[in-house]
């Protein structure tokens, strides 16, 4: 019997369309002899519906609310149910494992993972805490620092501090950081709302722009260096996590913003493996594995680093739901390390089934 895989995509964040692209890519690549895909989509208003079965439809269209709405049930009859107009429900059928491909808020921040935990459905990727802490750039830095991993200096500018003591926040920036700085929404992805600020005259406006995306903002020291990435894959049982070769984002643009990632994609290319001394590559791969275990990650994450001309290494962030199309960095890194895309999908599903749900 084929394992039934709930492929969950869409979502309410600004990364909705990217999630649709990812789901279509996985649909095309998944081993259809082993798995039966059950597409479940989340519209931008938060409504859950039966997804499209044709990857071309998934890729080209944003999720729309249809008659085939889905409800999530916990308790004695857990799982996904089709919701009818008269209020009755019909079980969607047994789901062996979920594959969440929802980026951004209410997707990779632990909320979706918590819902799946309560329904008793195993799922691909990190658990509730690792997802929540990984999504929040502020708490991410706290965990990284506690694990002894180097991070760029930063200042927090959430709505309370910005409203009550703005001048103190600006003074802290002047004391701790030097320009240029980067102003980032703490819990957004795909470079949404991020600004590069060259001087103090533009800082207030940049924070206001970021606050439109997320009420919690960090102001981070700009690091002049190369951007290197390492894909991490969980080990089976008590085995150590596995790390890929390193990849580098080589930019023509000044920095890796949303347009460079998804629109003007001629503005960068990937260099895999990254051309750096083997000693430094080994160090970053060890740090990526250390990061994975510091957050109690499961399944996958992608560790991103800054690498300076003086061979200093800083952890920029990690992404528990990294870009996962066939041409995204995470799958390509594993392909270059010896695990092709289809095999990677199978491995991630196997890890999720092995792990199960609940305390572990």
Question: Mind telling me the catalytic residues?
Answer: 15, 190, 328
Q: What is the DSSP string of 232-283?
A: EEPPSTTPPPEEEEEEEEEESSSS--HHHHHT-GGGEEEESS--S-HHHHHH
Is residue 77 a known part of a binding site?
no
Could you tell me the CA-to-CA distances from 271 to 41, 72, 332 in Å, in that order? 34, 42, 11
- Of 271, 294, 274, 272, which Cα lies nearest the Cα of 282? 274
On whether 317 is known to bind a ligand per the annotation, the reply is: yes
3-state secondary structure 72-111: EECCCCCEEEEECCCCCEEECCCCCEEEECCCCCCCCCCH
Report the C-alpha gap between 337 and 198 in whole angstroms: 38
User: Quick count: other Cβ atoms within 10 Å of Cβ 271?
Assistant: 14
Residue 279 counted as an annotated binding residue? no
Torsion-angle region of 69 (φ positive above 0: left; ψ -120 to 50: alpha; else: beta): beta
Which residues on adjacent β-strands are paired with residue 269?
250
Q: Is 52 exposed, middle or buried (0-12, 13-18, 19+ CB in 10 A)?
A: buried
Annotated binding site for Mg(2+): 304, 317, 319
């Amino acid at each position: 019997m084929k394992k039934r895989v709930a492929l969950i995509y869409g979502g309410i964040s600004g990364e909705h369309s990217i999630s649709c692209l990812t789901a279509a890519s996985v649909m095309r690549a998944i081993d259809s002899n082993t798995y039966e895909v059950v597409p479940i989509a989340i519209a931008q208003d938060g409504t859950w519906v039966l997804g499209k079965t044709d990857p071309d439809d998934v890729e080209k269209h944003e999720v729309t609310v249809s008659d085939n709405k889905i409800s999530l049930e916990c308790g004695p009859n857990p799982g996904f149910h089709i919701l009818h107009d008269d209020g009755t429900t019909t079980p969607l059928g047994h789901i062996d494992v979920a594959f969440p491909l929802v980026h951004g808020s209410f997707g990779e921040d632990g909320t979706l993972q918590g819902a799946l935990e309560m329904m008793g459905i195993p799922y691909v990727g990190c658990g509730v805490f690792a997802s929540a802490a990984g999504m929040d750039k502020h708490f991410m830095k706290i965990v990284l620092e506690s694990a002894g991993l180097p991070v760029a200096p930063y200042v927090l500018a959430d709505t309370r501090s910005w409203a009550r003591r703005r001048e103190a926040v600006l003074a802290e920036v002047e004391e701790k950081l030097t320009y240029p700085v980067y102003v980032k929404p703490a819990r957004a992805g795909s470079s949404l709302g991020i600004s590069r600020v060259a001087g103090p005259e533009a800082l207030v406006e940049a924070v206001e722009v970021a606050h439109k995306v997320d009420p919690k903002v960090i102001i981070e020291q700009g690091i002049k260096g190369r951007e290197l990435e390492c894909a991490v894959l969980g080990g089976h049982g008590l085995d150590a996590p596995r790390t890929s070769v390193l990849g580098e984002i080589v930019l023509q643009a000044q920095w890796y913003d949303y347009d460079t990632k998804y629109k003007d994609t001629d503005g960068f290319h990937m260099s895999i493996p990254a051309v750096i001394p083997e000693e430094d590559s080994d160090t970053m791969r060890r740090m990526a594995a250390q990061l994975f275990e510091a957050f109690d990650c499961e399944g996958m994450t992608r560790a991103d680093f800054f690498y300076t001309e003086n061979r200093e290494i800083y952890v920029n962030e990690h992404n528990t739901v990294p870009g996962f199309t066939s041409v995204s960095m995470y799958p390509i890194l594993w392909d270059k390390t010896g695990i092709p895309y289809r095999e990677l999908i199978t491995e991630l599903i196997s890890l999720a089934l092995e792990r199960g749900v609940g305390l572990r």
